[in-house]
């Protein structure tokens, strides 16, 4: 067993780039802590993988630390195998300690027994100054253009460096929406706590594989890996949602304009625009644009949202630069297996 090693530095992480469940609020982003110890337990799961390491403090006492890292789905995206650490391994980790002072740490860098360093997030740099780096091989990978005949109907993957995603930095909120946001506590009011599924439009932020399928009845299914979510798009010009039951995902109608799939959604009762606590009323309407590039390697995305209760004007989320999917032929939508 190894001793604890502390290092405090100023870290400039953007909350938009961090993982699920209020990582920024729970773990102190201003402190980097390095631990050395022996792995005594591993739990491969979503939304975060956990493992425990046994360390020895400066006064000689054995301590168990709960180590939290990114999701199992993200490890797959980075082509990191789910057996890269095993019980009994002597490893070093670098990350941010829990704000409450408990033996919990959110880790972005891991030094393995063979000397390889795993880098788990794009905002991370190497900590252990090692020559063998794992986890960055997919950063600049383009989409595959070998099968344009597939069109939009395939499994799409989010690039590791896919911009800022859907969300804006500022929103045109009504007075009541701003009051609601000010009362929102991202830890106490965590809207995905206990593996609670996301609704529209929040679910479209998910960075995991997504399969678009043509159904036998001519409609379209969108299967998103996160929370095993399935959206059904009704392909008709005759839209009528007036008497429809309101649900997490709402009622969606689609149509084609060339290579662009346009989807209009209403009757959503999810209650939130995003995980940051911006409210969304059941009067909100969304229009999505899925734009296929000609060679089939990429699917661009943007969404227009109008909510007369919470937004003073309609907003546009996503863009060609910040929200798109790429085609990686080997990828599949996996069972999410969320454990709270």
Instruction: Tell which residue, 80, 77, 72, has the closest CA to residue 46.
Output: 72
- Neighbour-count burial of 63, counting CB atoms closer than 10 A to its CB (0-12 exposed, 13-18 middle, 19+ buried): middle
Q: What does residue 148 show for φ and ψ, rounded to 5 degrees?
A: -65, -20
∠ at Cα 156 (264, 139), nearest 5°?
125
Round to whole Å and give the CA distance between 118 and 264.
41
Domain ranges of the chain: 5-134, 148-326
Give the CATH architecture of domain 5-134: Beta Barrel (2.40)
Instruction: Tell which residue, 155, 164, 121, 159, has the closest CA to residue 142.
Output: 159
pLDDT at 129: 74
pLDDT at 143: 95
3 state DSSP class of 65? strand
Instruction: Please report, for residues 36, 51, 297, the alpha-carbon distance to residue 155 in angstroms, rounded to integers and kept in the order given.
Output: 39, 31, 11
Q: What does residue 275 show for φ and ψ, rounded to 5 degrees?
A: -75, -10
Mean pLDDT, each 10-residue run in order, the chain (340 residues): 43 36 79 96 92 92 95 90 91 95 95 92 77 82 95 94 80 98 90 92 96 98 98 90 87 96 97 95 98 96 98 94 93 92
- Neighbour-count burial of 186, counting CB atoms closer than 10 A to its CB (0-12 exposed, 13-18 middle, 19+ buried): middle
């Amino acid at each position: 067993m190894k001793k604890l090693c502390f290092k405090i530095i100023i870290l400039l992480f953007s909350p938009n780039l961090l993982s699920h469940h209020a990582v920024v609020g729970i773990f102190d982003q201003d402190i980097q802590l390095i631990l050395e110890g022996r792995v005594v337990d591993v739990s491969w799961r979503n939304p975060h993988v956990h493992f425990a390491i046994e360390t020895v403090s400066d006064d000689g006492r054995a301590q168990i630390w709960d180590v939290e890292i990114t999701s199992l789905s993200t490890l797959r995206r980075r082509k990191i195998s789910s057996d890269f650490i095993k019980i009994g391994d002597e490893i070093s980790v670098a990350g941010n300690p829990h704000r409450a002072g408990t033996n919990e740490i959110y880790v972005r860098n891991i030094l393995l027994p063979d000397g390889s360093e795993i880098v788990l997030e794009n905002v991370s740099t190497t900590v252990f100054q090692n020559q063998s780096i794992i986890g960055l091989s997919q950063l600049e990978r383009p989409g595959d253009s070998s099968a344009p005949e597939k069109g939009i109907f395939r499994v799409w993957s989010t690039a590791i460096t896919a911009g800022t995603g859907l969300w804006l930095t500022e929103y045109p909120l009504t007075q009541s929406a701003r009051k609601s946001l000010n009362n929102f506590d991202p830890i106490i009011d965590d809207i995905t706590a206990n593996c609670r599924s996301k609704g529209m439009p929040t679910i479209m932020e998910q960075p995991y594989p997504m399969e678009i399928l043509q159904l036998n009845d001519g409609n379209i299914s969108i299967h998103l890996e996160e929370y095993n979510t399935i959206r059904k798009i009704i392909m008709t010009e005759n839209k009528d949602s007036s008497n429809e039951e309101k649900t997490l995902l709402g009622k969606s109608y689609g149509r084609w304009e060339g290579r662009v799939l346009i989807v209009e959604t209403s009757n959503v009762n999810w209650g939130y625009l995003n995980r940051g606590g911006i409210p969304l009323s059941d009067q909100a309407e969304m229009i999505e644009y899925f734009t296929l590039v000609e060679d089939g390697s990429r699917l661009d995305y943007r969404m227009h949202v109008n909510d007369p209760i919470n937004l003073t004007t309609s907003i546009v989320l996503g863009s060609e630069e910040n929200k798109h999917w790429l085609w990686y032929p080997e990828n599949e939508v996996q069972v999410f297996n969320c454990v709270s």
